Structure 1
Amino acid sequence: MHLVYGYSRVSSRDQNLETQIDQLKARRCDLIIQEKMTGATFKRPELEKLLKQTQSDDTIVVTRVDRLGRNTQQLLQLVEDLQTRNIHLYIIELGIEATHRNGKLFLTILSALAENERALLTEKRNAGLENAKRKGIKLGRKAKSKAKVDLAIQLWKKGEKTIKEIEESTGVGKSILYREVKKYGLKRE
């Protein structure tokens, strides 16, 4: 029996897989694999498990090319592996079977364009950050006032309030508090 597997992936834990899953269900996938992992990493445990369990003539369906990888080389290696194992790859957004000759050519071109777009966005972001630094604009989170941090430390040292209560009353997060406590080697009274 040949199975159709759907693979859905988002880059961060707070993103939603629902739209991809709906599209994969519409393609009548027998099993839908879900993963929340950045595509920039080569380690995607759920995809790796999926690739191990697929057999000749099975099909893997994804909604978009970038669900499988973030660079052309990574993507083409995957397509080559699937092709060698006679596993079909269907990309919904493109409407193509990527493991066929023409589909592979089209996929190569699109993947290279997407990789180039990511590089351009990175260049633009870095140029914007450099420009902001030249203008003296402070980047990152606003520093907590020294008075609030000092108050949080005093409350922590007394040991009368929980960390959550200290956070709520001073607005100083536990990571800042612990960093300051460690920095000065402070102990509770």
Structure 2
Amino acid sequence: MLVGYARTSTLDQKAGLDSQERELKDAGCERLFIEQVSSVDVTARERLTEALAFVRDGDTLVVTKLDRLARSTAHLLEILETLTAKGAALRILNMNMDTSTPTGKLMLTVLGGVAQFEREIMLERQREGIAKAKAAGKYKGRKATARAKSDEVMALHEKGVGATKIARELGIGRASVYRIISDSIGA
């Protein structure tokens, strides 16, 4: 059985998710596992976990692109090991790669390493760009949204509203609520 897995990082990437779903169906996938979650937080990828648990001996997990599946070579190899232990294979459509062959496994490992290298280089360039922008006074970072609501937090706190409810009502994190209260009391 061909089992498809599709993922986008954010909710506003609906078109990309629809495209992946269409490609997986066109490839003959009988069962699809779809989610919208960042690949950085691999623990939150519940549908990937379900897909890996679902595959059986002789099945093939199908993805449209390598970066939809794994962000690092180590994570890729971990997924591949799980599939191999179950007697399943991995197919990546845009690379025309299938790990049911020794050559496919080798190529996937090499390409996974290259993909991880590219990502690390991109992140390094991004950090350098941010450092240059900061030095030039052009990069201020994200505006502190919770601190801007300090008066509202304190007003609700003084009315006896709990931190969780304050956070939910104002659309900020609970830790931010505690920090604002602590700073105000300590001041």
Sort the TM-score into its range (normalised by shorter chain).
0.7 to 0.9
Unpaired runs of 5+ residues, structure 2, are 157-169
Unpaired runs of 5+ residues, structure 1, are 157-172
Structure 2: distance between partners of 1:80 and 1:180: 44
* TM-score normalised according to structure 2 size: 0.74
CA deviation after TM superposition for structure 1 residue 179, in Å: 8.8
* Total equivalences in the alignment: 168
More moved, 81-90 vs 117-126: 81-90
* DSSP 3-state at the match of 1:25: helix
* DSSP 3-state at the match of 2:25: helix
- The 5 A counterparts of 1:35-54 are 35-43=35-43, 44-54=45-55
* Contact residue 3 and residue 61 of structure 2 kept, 8 A: yes
Q: Supply the AA of the counterpart residue of 2:25.
A: K
Matched, 1:134 2:135: yes
Q: Supply the AA of the counterpart residue of 2:59.
A: D
Q: Supply the AA of the counterpart residue of 1:108.
A: T
* Contact residue 82 and residue 99 of structure 1 kept, 8 A: no
CA deviation after TM superposition for structure 1 residue 46, in Å: 0.9
RMSD of the alignment, in Å? 3.1
Kindly indicate which of the two structures has a greater share of residues assigned to helix.
2
CA deviation after TM superposition for structure 1 residue 136, in Å: 2.2
Structure 1: distance between partners of 2:144 and 2:90: 49
* Contact residue 97 and residue 104 of structure 2 kept, 8 A: yes
* TM-score normalised according to structure 1 size: 0.74
**Which structure has the bigger radius of gyration?**
1
Structure 2: distance between partners of 1:74 and 1:149: 40
Which position in structure 2 is the counterpart of 1:94? 95
Which position in structure 2 is the counterpart of 1:80? 81
Structure 1 pair 6/143, CA: closer, same or farther in 2 (3 Å)? Answer: closer
* Contact residue 40 and residue 69 of structure 1 kept, 8 A: no
After the TM superposition, list the runs of 4 or more consecutive aligned residues in structure 1 that deviate by more than 6 angstroms: 148-153, 178-181
Question: Equivalent pairs: percent with the same residue?
Answer: 30
Structure 1: distance between partners of 2:40 and 2:115: 13
Which position in structure 1 is the counterpart of 2:10? 12
